[in-house]
Amino acid sequence: MRWDRRRFVSVLGGASLAWPGALDALARDLASGGAPDDEAFWSFVRGQFLLPPDRIYLNNGTLGPSPRVVVDAVAEHARRVASTFPPGVAWDDVKAATAALVGGEPEGFVFPRNTTEAMSFVANGLDLRPGDEVVTTDHEHIGGLEPWKLATKRREARLIVASLPTPARDAGELADSVWRRVTPATRVVCVSHMTFTTGTLMPVSALARRCADAGIVLAVDGAHPPGMLGIDLAEVGGDFYASSPHKWLLAPQGTGLLYITRAWRERLWPTLASGGWDDLSLGAHRFNHMGTMDESRLAGLLAALEFMQAIGRDRVEARVRYLRDTLEQGLRAIPGVSVATPADEALKGAMVSFAIDGVESADLQRHLSRAADVRTRVIGEYGYGWMRLSTHVYNVPADVERVLELLASAARDGVPA
């Protein structure tokens, strides 16, 4: 599905902009090929990024480096603002572009700065009462967790933490682990679509059905799947979906996403009150009224969405899974390595977490950085101590091979002090 960007481009200044034409040319160059192992195709994709050639970036789960066309879109917008020609935002086009990639109704999208802000809108906007319970898990990122800590403390409600199996064996086991902590006092369930700790895909659709039957709100921390996996928010289910396009969608920093389902667009209390906050006819768009904001990030978001569409989300998912599988199988073959990510392909995407016996992951992280400029993430939260690696479209098999060599050496000989 494509969308019409003409109104957006005309608002920004029309034909004088460089990035729309660059995206059109890129789409033509990417029209054919793109199998998971088509290295000529993916080498061309890698060339669209500003990454140094000798850097192995495997931490997209924290921050996705934007391709050049996204950087250009942000810069062009900022220059127009600096020249006192504020372009404004064609909201309908940004919403339509987002819906074209991740599904859902365009009218339901809100664009805060990140998952943390999006989830804060939800947690602060619900009418929790003393004694109400919010169920979450012991694999939640602070961006999805802390808003509920604040809201439950402020409202004298209770935060209940379900323990997830690691590594998980099947979706039913994961769903039951959450649902065992649900009681008649439960008002909200908040879980990750994909855990940041191990890259485990949670059975959100199954939980959404259970929550709907029980009259429980389901809020989903979806920081990772958009841009990594082909998803449709209408099929995912739940009441709210928060995400960070600056990760896998490769949008600018400070670009967030909140999807509000139709039932809540007039019921959720705004956290930020600007003009129109109480105009219920605006629906979810009330939450886009945030006062003066950096609109250049939305120009960058549109460019990022078009960049991903030019590659094709099915091709993206196939490629990132192909690289992750190569990495994961190599890890499982190294003596002394334990993998925390599930073995079942249906329960994972493009992240893998692991530990090496006798080697602290923080020490391993420093070693990889020094030895080959490898960027990684250590999951120190909850005392887990895993290393997490993420694969995306700018990675190539040589990156994976080099990292596996270093990890095999570390498992065999340890790491230098």
Strands 133-137 and 386-390: unpaired
251 and 166 share one domain: yes
Whether residues 228 and 128 share a domain: the answer is: yes
- Whether pTM > 0.85 for this model: the answer is yes
**Shared-domain flag, residues 148 and 254:** yes
Which of these three, 278, 303, 328, is where a domain ends?
Answer: 303
Do residues 330 and 224 share a domain?
no
Residues 298 and 318 occupy one common structural domain: no
Same domain, 253 and 280: yes
pLDDT of residue 360: 97
Which of 252, 268, 303 is at the close of a domain?
303
In a domain, 335, yes or no: yes
Q: 371 and 274 in one domain?
A: no
Q: Quick one: which of 329, 375, 373 has its CA closest to 354?
A: 329
| Distance, CA of 128 to CA of 191 (rounded, Å) | 18
Residue 383 contacts residue 359 (beta carbons within 8 Å): no
Among 270, 303, 336, which residue terminates a domain?
303
Amino acid type, 68: R
Q: Is residue 95 part of a domain?
A: yes
Domain that holds residue 267: 91-303
Q: Where are the alpha helices (DSSP H) in 180-312?
A: 204-214, 233-236, 296-311
Q: What is the CATH number of the domain that holds 281?
A: 3.40.640.10
Distance between CA atoms of residues 206 and 229, nearest Å: 18
The verdict on 324 and 199 lying in the same domain is no
- What pLDDT is attached to residue 146? 97
CATH of the domain at 378: 3.90.1150.10
With respect to residue 389, please indicate whether it lies within any of the assigned structural domains.
yes
Q: Is residue 63 part of a domain?
A: no
One domain for residues 241 and 134: yes
Rounded Cα distance between 202 and 207, Å, is 9
Residue 31 within any structural domain of the chain: no
Does 293 lie in the same domain as 403? no
Own/partner pairs for 46-52, CB < 8 Å, 24+ apart? 46/393, 46/394, 46/395, 46/396, 48/307, 48/394, 49/394, 51/394, 52/373
Residues 406, 357 share a domain = yes
pLDDT per residue as tens, the chain (417 positions): 444 554 445 444 444 577 788 888 888 999 999 999 999 999 999 999 999 999 999 999 999 999 999 999 999 889 888 887 766 777 888 999 999 999 999 999 999 999 999 999 999 999 999 999 999 999 999 999 999 999 999 999 999 999 999 999 999 999 999 999 999 999 999 999 999 999 999 999 999 999 999 999 999 999 999 999 999 999 999 999 999 999 999 999 999 999 999 999 999 999 999 999 999 999 999 999 999 888 899 999 999 999 999 999 999 999 999 999 999 999 999 999 999 999 999 999 999 999 999 999 999 999 999 999 999 999 999 999 999 999 999 999 999 999 999 999 999 999 988
**Of 114, 144, 120, nearest in space to 255 by CA:** 114
- Identify which of 400, 315, 298, 408 has the alpha carbon closest to the alpha carbon of residue 58: 400
Contact 370, 411 (CB under 8 A): no
Count of structural domains, the chain: 2
Same domain (yes/no): 261, 402: no
219 vs 241: CA distance, rounded Å: 6
